[in-house]
Structure 1
Amino acid sequence: MTLKLRSVGTSDRGLIRSGNQDAMHSGAWLVAVADGMGGMAAGDLASRIAIDAVAPLDVETPEDALVAALQTGIELATARIHQAVEEDRERQGMGTTLTALLFSRTGSCLALAHVGDSRAYLFRDSILKQVTRDDTFVQMLVDQGVISPEEASSHPRRAVVTQALQGEQVSPSYATMVPRVGDRWLLCSDGLSNVVRPDTLTEVLRETPDRDACARRLIDLALRAGGPDNITVLIADVVDE
């Protein structure tokens, strides 16, 4: 049995923003979502730099080199963002989230890298699990027991990110997992996760097997919920070929 990753991605500006600061990569070995911040032009640039830095990882990679490859990609993104800020001081403060999943050449392992508040969810055996942890002020309050997860979803400071790729030292989280046939991964920017409930995400992922239709349906739901932010959705299925 040879497991493969099959992915599609789509992005929408939303109903409020004048442009789209999200960027993504949907490939055979690598899927990634980045959500830029720090002003229109700078946010666009930061997210694109991050995706361009990790995109070359979309190649056959040995299991024992997955995390190191992602680390190298993030280090390159950090250096390039730092250089971009040095070239134009008005870009000071620009940054981007990054959530990336890299599949091994044998299909026996995958690695996940994450910084910021974009998310990776795993839909397995009809159960949806948020695999990444938000690098946000409200998540810190939840971890400390100050507020509940329900209160976090409507907290006025829920958009405050505590860590992002901004050209300085950063501490991304990394994880490795063993994929299974039938696994479905959802990577998204907070334009989806902030406005569409997890139970709704679960329903759509379960009832819409076609990847393109699933991604489009999730975008539509975010738009119906007001589309206050850019929305990026990436669906990746683990299949047996």
Structure 2
Amino acid sequence: MTLVLRSVALTDRGLVRRANQDAVYAGARLLAVADGMGGMAAGDLASEITIKAVAAADADHPEAALVDAMREVIGTAGARIRDAVAEDPTRDGMGTTLTALLFAPGNTAVTLAHVGDSRAYLHRDGVTQQMTKDDTFVQMLVDEGVITPDEASVHPRRAVVTQALQGEPVEPAFSTMTPLAGDRWMICSDGLSNVVREDTIQDVLRIYPDRAACAARLVDLARRAGGPDNITVIVADLEAAP
């Protein structure tokens, strides 16, 4: 069965931040969200550099080459961030998360690449599962059994990331799986996942068949929750080709 990938991307400044430091890309083979960090240290530049670098992977790669393709463009993004800091030392400290999906031709396989605390969710057969693990201080505490996931969601240091693209060596997480007809992927920055409950996200992904309406509803919920951060969402469906 041939699968067709269809996606919608939305990004919103939110209600508190003066600028939008998120960047997003939704192409024929590649979906990516980058959440810049560093404030005055040019987090918006870091996310822009990263999305432009990883966009080069939006091409036909055989299944066996998906991880290598993502590893290469992530390395390019890191090098360009490093060069930008060297060019202007006031940018020192800027960085960005990256969560991306790269599909093989015919959508026979998909590789998920992840650094930081943006997230990817897969909605399949009525069940939504978080497919990434946050590179954060509180996730480390959860893994060590110090706090529970519920405690992590309200912890005062939940936004502290332990790994991001900042021009230094990183260890992205990669996973590859086989897509199925009916799969719905959602990638988001933490401006959504930090303020909207996971059960609510699951309900929206299930209830709204229209991708644009689904993405708009998720952004609206984050704004209704105060919109304390930039909000970026990609909703993508894999459909059987007619």
Question: Residue 49 of structure 2 contacts residue 77 of structure 2 at CA under 8 Å; is this kept in 1?
Answer: yes
1:137-176 correspondence to structure 2 within 5 Å: 137-176=137-176
Q: Distance in 1 between matches of 2:160 and 2:50?
A: 20
Q: Distance in 2 between matches of 1:180 and 1:103?
A: 12
Question: Residue 14 of structure 2 contacts residue 223 of structure 2 at CA under 8 Å; is this kept in 1?
Answer: yes
| Alignment-derived partner of residue 55 in structure 1 | 55
- Deviations along 1:59-87, whole A, 9 cap, x unmatched? 12211110000000100000000000000
| Alignment-derived partner of residue 233 in structure 1 | 233
| 1:207 correspondence with 2:218 | no
1:106 match: secondary structure = helix
Q: Distance in 1 between matches of 2:35 and 2:107?
A: 28
2:14 match: secondary structure = coil
Alpha-carbon distance, 1:239 to partner: 1.1
Return structure 1 stretches of 4+ with deviation > 4 angstroms: none
Q: Distance in 2 between matches of 1:168 and 1:41?
A: 16
Alpha-carbon distance, 1:3 to partner: 1.1
Question: Residue 41 of structure 2 contacts residue 90 of structure 2 at CA under 8 Å; is this kept in 1?
Answer: no
Question: Residue 67 of structure 2 contacts residue 111 of structure 2 at CA under 8 Å; is this kept in 1?
Answer: yes
Amino acid of the residue matched to residue 164 of structure 2?
A
| Alignment-derived partner of residue 191 in structure 1 | 191
Q: Distance in 2 between matches of 1:4 and 1:83?
A: 38
Q: Distance in 1 between matches of 2:207 and 2:41?
A: 38
| Alignment-derived partner of residue 135 in structure 1 | 135
* Higher alpha-carbon deviation: 55-64 or 126-135: 55-64
Amino acid of the residue matched to residue 143 of structure 1?
D
| Alignment-derived partner of residue 92 in structure 2 | 92
Alpha-carbon distance, 1:41 to partner: 6.0
Question: Residue 81 of structure 1 contacts residue 167 of structure 1 at CA under 8 Å; is this kept in 2?
Answer: yes
Alpha-carbon distance, 1:57 to partner: 1.2
| Alignment-derived partner of residue 11 in structure 2 | 11
| 1:79 correspondence with 2:69 | no
| 1:70 correspondence with 2:101 | no
In the superposition, relative to structure 1, how do residues 231 and 64 fare at CA in structure 2: closer, same or farther (>3 Å)?
same
**Which consecutive unaligned segments of at least 5 residues does structure 1 have?**
none
Alpha-carbon distance, 1:40 to partner: 4.0
Amino acid of the residue matched to residue 50 of structure 1?
T
Amino acid of the residue matched to residue 227 of structure 1?
G
Amino acid of the residue matched to residue 93 of structure 1?
G
1:107-126 correspondence to structure 2 within 5 Å: 107-126=107-126
Normalising to structure 2: TM-score of the pair? Answer: 0.98
Q: Distance in 2 between matches of 1:228 and 1:44?
A: 16
Q: Distance in 1 between matches of 2:40 and 2:18?
A: 9
2:165 match: secondary structure = coil
| Alignment-derived partner of residue 2 in structure 2 | 2
1:3-42 correspondence to structure 2 within 5 Å: 3-40=3-40, 42=42
Question: Residue 19 of structure 1 contacts residue 40 of structure 1 at CA under 8 Å; is this kept in 2?
Answer: no
- Deviations along 1:38-61, whole A, 9 cap, x unmatched? 124611100001100011211122
Normalising to structure 1: TM-score of the pair? Answer: 0.99
- Deviations along 1:119-159, whole A, 9 cap, x unmatched? 00000111110000000000000000000000000000000
Question: Residue 111 of structure 1 contacts residue 176 of structure 1 at CA under 8 Å; is this kept in 2?
Answer: yes
Identity, % of aligned positions: 67
Aligned residues: 241
Q: Distance in 1 between matches of 2:95 and 2:107?
A: 32
* Aligned Cα root-mean-square deviation (Å): 0.7
2:106 match: secondary structure = coil
Question: Residue 41 of structure 2 contacts residue 92 of structure 2 at CA under 8 Å; is this kept in 1?
Answer: no
Amino acid of the residue matched to residue 236 of structure 2?
A
